[in-house]
Amino acid sequence: MLVIGAPMYNFGIPTQLKAWIDRVVVAGKTFRYTERGPEGLLPAGKKVFIATSSGGFYSGDNPAKVLEYNESYLKGVLAHIGLRDVTVIRAEGVNISAEARQSVIENARRAIGDLTTLKLAA
């Protein structure tokens, strides 16, 4: 299992997370180039959880969705190395108001709790 915390900074991931990705995504180690394109080398079935937060709203039908480079980038990079079983927990809108922040954090915690309950039931 891999758990990634990824707050959105200026529409993308923090530099510390980018530096980690640059150390992990290495040709010949975690992926290889083939005639059919890149192929991930990490074991199939590894589960990834991404906990992400943003000040505004960047998912769904929101017009600002075109500025979302956080979740889409991470999913793309992870798929590149063979990790496709990705669950994202979002806390969007944390800078809208104190009430909105409280609500989205509670929703994210509830979503995490739901995942735990599902895992225990399985």
pLDDT value of residue 117: 67
Domain count, the chain: 1
pLDDT value of residue 82: 96
CA-to-CA dists, residue 108 to 10, 74, 111, angstroms = 21, 19, 5
Q: Please report, in tens digits, the pLDDT of each residue of the chain (122 residues total).
A: 999 999 999 888 999 999 999 999 999 999 999 999 999 999 888 999 999 999 888 888 888 787 788 999 999 999 999 999 999 999 998 988 999 899 989 988 898 888 876 555 55
Give per-residue burial for 55-88: e unless 16+ CB within 10 Å, then b.
Answer: eebbeeeeeeeeebebbebbbebbebbbbeebeb
Q: Give residue 38's domain range.
A: 2-121
H or E element, residue 106 = helix 98-121
What CATH number has the domain bearing residue 49? 3.40.50.360
pLDDT value of residue 65: 80
pLDDT value of residue 14: 95
pLDDT value of residue 120: 52
